[in-house]
């Protein structure tokens, strides 16, 4: 009788042991594959400046001088350049402060669209402008492409006329989309972003565009992007860089951008988390104090922290908070940790307005996020074994 009881116990142990071994054999090569195809870090301490709505006057020049003195190595301009369709004059200002070969990438703004396309000088407006001033002639996309070629950066597609392109620079993946409105956002830009980021292995990714959804800015901008671009970037763990409203504001970590839901597991205003998943998590900022003008705080009042609306805002800096021009800086791969970054907004008077840290998830792609980790499979196998033991 006792022998009869013991035999099945031994058999079940052998079976569970075999299952464990098989699971280990299945999972370990995957873990190995994950570590060999390691997510790609940025250069250590890669500092990037984010600006928008700059104009091409004395204040833009001050912002560029700030960017230079802070030691930023890349500029991402979220659109609305000089408000004058004078691409040549606009880039001449940039070159005079930062140098001809300074990495300068941009999303097209609604005020840039007439002179964006490479063939823009064929338009009536440009012919008129050219006749008035040779200096301002040119097309923004052409200047950006020429600059990229000069510094050895190749966009995913040489055609920037569709307002969508992506580049990788010093380990930072950047996807730029246009200003064509919510329909374009939902049907063209969001699928393009998905295509660019779904199988991407860079730790840090940026989505850059000009316009907003009303709830993702604190001024009076209408819904002009659609939610799909925001949700796609967030689910793919990309930081969302915008402008259009002429002030600076930044959210906490959100798991739903459309519904402004703060990530309960990463809710601090100054310690942010980004990572892909279903849902993923990320944050949104508007950096629109590049030099053109400064607007007021109209949504999500009161004007002091923790502000209003749904608790999504970590920092708001408008004329109501005494704002002046400046730039948001993010330094990636700091303190010897490729997954750690630090952000700060500094104005042209040298005042630091906002500081925060960001951590990137351990899983850098949806494929990795969906793959059950070896530890989970092992613990499930152990649970089964324990159940067998209890039956013993
Ligand atoms: Fe603007």
- The one-digit pLDDT tens for each residue of the chain (392 residues) are 344 434 444 445 544 444 444 444 444 333 333 344 689 999 999 999 999 999 999 999 999 999 999 999 999 999 999 999 999 999 999 999 999 999 999 999 999 999 999 989 765 665 666 656 555 679 999 999 999 999 999 999 999 999 999 999 999 999 999 999 999 999 999 999 999 999 999 999 999 999 999 999 999 999 999 999 999 999 999 999 999 999 999 999 999 999 999 999 999 999 999 999 999 999 999 999 999 999 999 999 999 999 999 999 999 999 999 999 999 999 999 999 999 999 999 999 999 999 999 999 854 344 444 444 444 444 444 444 343 333 33
Rounded to 10°, the helix 190-197/228-235 angle is: 10
Ligand 1 centroid – CA 69 distance (Å): 25
Per-residue pLDDT at 99:
98
Ligand 1 centroid – CA 357 distance (Å): 28
Ligand 1 centroid – CA 53 distance (Å): 4
Ligand 1 centroid – CA 290 distance (Å): 9
Ligand 1 centroid – CA 90 distance (Å): 15
250: β partners? 285, 315
Considering only the top CATH level, what class is 45-363?
alpha beta
Per-residue pLDDT at 187:
98
Alpha helices in 185-336 (DSSP H): 190-197, 228-235
Per-residue pLDDT at 124:
67
Per-residue pLDDT at 307:
98
Q: Which tokens go with 245?
A: 């409203």
Per-residue pLDDT at 39:
95
Ligand 1 centroid – CA 129 distance (Å): 21
Of 334, 336, 325, 338, the residue nearest 356 (C-alpha): 334
Ligand 1 centroid – CA 54 distance (Å): 8
Ligand 1 centroid – CA 211 distance (Å): 9
Per-residue pLDDT at 131:
59
Per-residue pLDDT at 37:
66
Ligand 1 centroid – CA 325 distance (Å): 13
Alpha helices in 309-373 (DSSP H): 366-370
Neighbours of ion ligand 1 (CB under 5 A): 53, 80
**Sheet arrangement for strand 352-360:** 104-106, 74-77, 46-51, 326-334, 337-347, 352-360, 271-274
Alpha helices in 204-304 (DSSP H): 228-235
Q: What are phi and psi of 140, to 5 degrees?
A: -60, -45
pTM assigned to the model: 0.83
Ligand 1 centroid – CA 214 distance (Å): 15
């Amino acid at each position: 009788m006792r022998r009869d009881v013991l035999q099945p116990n031994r058999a079940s142990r052998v079976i569970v042991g075999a299952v464990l071994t098989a699971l280990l054999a299945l999972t370990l090569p995957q873990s190995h594959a994950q570590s060999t195809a390691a997510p790609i870090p940025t250069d250590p301490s890669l500092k990037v400046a984010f600006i928008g709505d700059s104009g091409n006057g004395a204040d833009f020049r001050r912002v560029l001088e700030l960017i230079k003195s802070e030691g930023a190595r890349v500029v991402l301009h979220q659109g609305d350049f000089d408000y004058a369709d004078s691409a040549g004059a606009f880039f001449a200002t940039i070159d005079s402060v930062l140098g001809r070969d300074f990495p300068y990438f941009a999303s097209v703004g609604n005020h840039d669209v007439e002179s964006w396309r490479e063939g823009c000088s064929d338009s009536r407006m440009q012919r008129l402008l050219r006749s008035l001033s040779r200096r301002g002639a040119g097309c923004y996309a052409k200047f950006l492409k020429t600059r990229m070629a000069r510094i050895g950066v190749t966009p995913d597609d040489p055609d920037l006329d569709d307002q969508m392109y992506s580049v990788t620079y010093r380990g930072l993946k950047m996807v730029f989309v246009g200003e064509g409105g919510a329909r374009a956002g939902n049907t063209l830009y969001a699928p393009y972003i998905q295509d660019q980021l779904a199988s991407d292995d860079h730790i840090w990714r940026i989505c850059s565009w000009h316009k907003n959804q009303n709830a993702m800015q604190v001024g009076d901008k209408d819904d002009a992007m659609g939610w799909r671009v925001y949700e796609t970037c967030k689910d793919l763990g990309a930081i969302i860089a915008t402008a259009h409203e002429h002030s600076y504001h930044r959210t906490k970590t959100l798991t739903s951008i459309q519904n402004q839901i703060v990530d309960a597991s990463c809710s601090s205003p100054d310690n942010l988390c980004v990572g892909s998943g279903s849902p993923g998590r990320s944050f949104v900022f508007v950096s629109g104090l590049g030099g053109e003008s400064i607007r007021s705080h109209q949504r999500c009042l009161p004007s002091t922290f923790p502000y209003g609306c749904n608790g999504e805002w970590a920092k708001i800096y408008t004329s109501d908070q005494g704002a002046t021009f400046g730039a948001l800086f993010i330094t990636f791969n700091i303190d010897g940790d490729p997954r750690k970054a630090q952000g700060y907004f500094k104005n042209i008077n040298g005042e630091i307005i906002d500081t925060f840290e960001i951590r990137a998830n351990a899983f850098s792609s949806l494929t990795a996020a969906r793959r059950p980790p070896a530890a989970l499979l092992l613990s499930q196998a152990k649970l089964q074994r324990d159940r067998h033991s209890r039956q013993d």
